[in-house]
Amino acid sequence: MSWRMVFVFCILLLLPPQAVGQEARPAGKSVILLIPEDTALPAMATLVASLRSSLWEAQDGPLTLDVESLDLGWARGPAYTHALHTWYLAKYRERRPDALIVFRSDAIQLALQLRRELWPDIPMIVLSEDERLWEQQPRPERVAGRWLHYDIRATAELALQLLPSTRRLALVNGSSPWERARQEQLVRELQPLLAQRGLELIDLSNLPLAELLERARTLPDDTTVLTSTFMTDPSGRPFVGREIARMFLSACNRPSFALHDTVLGLGFVGGALVSYEAVGQQLGMLTSRVLRGEQEEFLAPLKPAPVDTLTVDARALRRWGIPRERVPPGVRLAFDEPTLWERYRWWVLGALTISGLQALVAGGLVVERRRRMRAQAELLERQRLEKLAEMEARRTLEQLAHVSRVAALGELTASLAHELNQPLAAILSNAQAARRLLNATPAELDEVREALEDIISDDKRAGEVIHRMRALLKRGEPRQELHSLNDLVREVARLMANDMHLRGATLQLALAPSLPTVQGDGIQLQQVVLNLLINAMDAMADVPAGQRQLQVRTASPGPGQVELSVQDSGGGIEPSRLALIFEPFYSTKAHGLGMGLSISRSIVEAHGSRLQAESPPGQGALLRCVLPAAPTESSS
C-alpha cells in the first residue's frame, strides 16, 4: 500500500498545477447570477428559485449557479460601486464561468465592466426594465436579453375601469437612484392617459415613510393609488417592500393597485402584476439556449418578456364595494371564494322544502280560541317581564357606570388634589399680599386691585375643577343634548393633565376643526374618553419615561359621522386578546376590575356606534369609534 501511495504522489508532483486544478474541478456548466437586491426579498427569492429550476430542467449535465446580491437599492454612492467592483475582481479573477446573468439596468452596467476586465468572451444574458438600454451606447458583443415591462399604463386603465369616479391618481415610489429613474419612466408612461382623461397626478414619491403614511390617511375621496416600489426613503434608510406595503395599506384610505405579484393578497385591488416565477423561467430557457451554443439571440434586440397578467383580488373588490360587473373580460380573478348560496345551495333548498312542508302541516291544524287567548296572555306577560328586565339591566348599567366614574376619579385623587392646591395656595398668597398692601402707608391700591383680580381668577380655576368633578360624579337619568366632542375631550384632558405629568406621559391632541356636534349624554361620553385615557396610560406603564406618547384624534370620516380615536405607545394587544378586552371583568392588570372598556362599549353602543380595538404592528394599541353626527336644521 505504501509504495502505491508514493507512486501516485510522484505523478501528481510531475503534473503542472493547472492540470491538477482542471482535474479537481467538477464537470458541468457554471453560471453567475448578479441580482440588484437581497435574495431574501420575495421577488428576488422567487426569481432565483424559478431560474435555478428552469436551468436544471433544461441542462443534461450538472450546473452550478452562483448568486451574488449587489444591494444597489440599499447602498448608494460611487464609493460603494467601486468597492463592489474591486471585490468581484478579486473574488472571480481565478474563476471563469460559462455565462453571466444580470437583472436590472444599474446592475447591467456594473456587470459589463466586470466582464470586460475578467471574461471578455463569455456570453451575457440580461433582463432590463428599460427597453432603451442600448440607445446611448453601442451594444456589447455576445449579449442576449429580455425587456421586462412594468405596465403602469395598463394598471391605471384597469383602475379607472373598476373605479370610474376617479379624478386623481396618486403615485407611490421610493428614493433610491434606481427608483428615481423609474419614477421618470412611470410618469412619462402615465402622461398620455392623464391628458386624455383630464386626471390630476398626486406625487407621493421620494417622501419619508412617516409623511407618506400620514398623507395616505387623508387622500381625497376621488383618488386611486398606484404603487411601484419603496426600497429607501430620502434619508437612505432601507426597507423591505412587502412590509412597507402592509403598513401603507393599513394607513391608506383609498383603493391601491400594484405592479408585482409578490404583494397580491395583502389588500391591493390588483394591476398588471409581473410574475417573477415566469421571469425566472424565461431567463432560464434563454440561458440554456445560449449555453448550448445558439448565436441568433446575440443579434436580436431586447425582446419583451410577456410575464405580466391583469389580476384582481376578489376580496379587495368586496372590501371597497366594487361590483364584479366592472371587472373587464379576460382579467384573472384571484381569491374568488364561492358565496354561501353557491356553497350550500342544496342544503338551503332542502331546508326550505322541509320548512314548507312544516308550514303546510301547521296550517292545517286548528287551534282552539281559548288556547289562542291563553297563549296571547302568556306572550303579553313575557313581554312585560322582558321589558322590566331590560329596564333593570339599564339601571344596573347606569349604576356600574357611576361606580366606574367614581373609581376613575379615585385613581386621579393626587392629580385633582394638585389641581385644587395650586389655585387655593395662590388665593392665600394673594390675600396675604393684599392685606400687607392695605396696611402700608399709603395703601398701594393698584397692586391690591391686581391681587384681587388674581384671587378671582384662581377662584374660577378652582371652581372649574370642582365643577368638572361634580359633573362626572353626578348621577341621574341620561340626557340627550347636543355636545361638541372636541370640548368634551379638552375638559377630560385638563382634568387628567397633572396625572399624565406624574406618570411621565405626553398627550397629543389632534382635534379636527369645524367638527359636527353629536347628540347624547355628555357625562357618559366624557366617561368614555376618561376610561380610554386611563386604559392607555396603564398600557404604557412598562414603557420608559419620555417614550409614553398618547394621541387623541377627532375627525369627520364621512358625512354625518364623527370619529374619536385614542392611541398609545405601549406594547399593543395580542391578536388573541382583541376579542376579549371588551368582555366584562376581563382585565390584563392585576388591580383592574375589567369593567372600564366594557362599560365604554355599552355607552358607545347606546349612542348608535361601536367601540373597536386594533393593534398596528409596532404602534401600540388603537381604540376608536365613529359616532353619528347630530342632524342639522337643514337636513331635518
pLDDT in the model for residue 246: 92
Report pLDDT for 268. Answer: 95
Q: 305 pLDDT band (50/70/90 cuts)? A: confident
Question: In sequence order, what DSSP letters do the residues of 39-98 get, joined into one string?
Answer: TTSHHHHHHHHHHHHHHHHH-SS-EEEEEEE--TTT--SHHHHHHHHHHHHHHHTT---S
* Whole-angstrom distance, CA of residue 271 vs CA of residue 382: 58
The residues near 61 (Cβ < 8 Å, ≥ 6 apart) are: 27, 28, 29
pLDDT confidence of 360, banded at 50, 70, 90?
confident
Beta bridge partners, 624, equal 565, 612
Q: What is the pLDDT of residue 635?
A: 42
Question: Which position has the grid cell 372600564?
Answer: 596
E strands in 322-433: 332-334
pLDDT for residue 7: 38
Instruction: Give the CA-trace dihedral at 326, 329, 331, 337, to 10 degrees.
Output: 70
Cα separation, 328 vs 272, whole angstroms = 13
pLDDT tens digits along 215-263: 999 999 999 999 998 888 888 788 888 888 999 999 999 999 999 998 9
Query: HSE of 546 in the Cβ direction (CA atoms, 13 Å)?
Result: 1
Least confident of 203-217, 221-235, 296-310: 296-310
Judge whether residue 445 has pLDDT over 80.
no
pLDDT tens figures, 469-508: 565 555 556 678 888 989 889 888 887 887 788 788 889 9
Asked if 259 and 274 touch (Cβ cutoff 8 Å), the reply is yes
557 vs 460, which has greater pLDDT?
Answer: 557
- Which residues are paired to 483 by β-bridges? 518
Contact indicator for 323, 277 with CB cutoff of 8 Å: no
Structure-model confidence comparison of residues 559 and 398, the more confident one: 559
Least confident of 68-77, 331-340, 402-411, 541-550: 402-411
Band (pLDDT 50/70/90 cuts) for residue 299 is low
Q: What is the pLDDT of residue 258?
A: 95
Q: How far apart are CA 532 and CA 603, in angstroms?
A: 12
The Cα–Cα gap between 155 and 330 comes to 14
3-60 pLDDT tens trace: 333 333 343 344 444 333 333 334 578 999 998 888 888 888 998 999 999 888 887 7
pLDDT at 134: 73
pLDDT surpassing 70 at residue 460: no
Q: How confident is the model at residue 590 (pLDDT cuts 50, 70, 90)?
A: low
Amino acid at the residue 108: I
Q: Rounded CA gap, 215 and 252, in Å?
A: 8
Long-range contacts of 294-301 (CB under 8 A, 24+ apart): 297/144, 298/123, 298/141, 298/142, 298/143, 298/144, 300/144, 301/134
Q: Which residue has the higher pLDDT, 473 or 117?
A: 117
Mean pLDDT of 589-611: 75
Residue 278 has pLDDT above 50, yes or no: yes
pLDDT at 11: 39
Overall average pLDDT of the 580-603 stretch: 71
Q: Average pLDDT, stretch 157-167? A: 95
Residue 110: which of 147, 75, 135 has the closest Cα? 75
- 3-state helix/strand/coil string of 268-310: CCEEEEECHHHHHHHHHHHHHHHHCCCCHHHHCCCEECCCEEE
CA 18, distance to chain mean position in Å, is 58
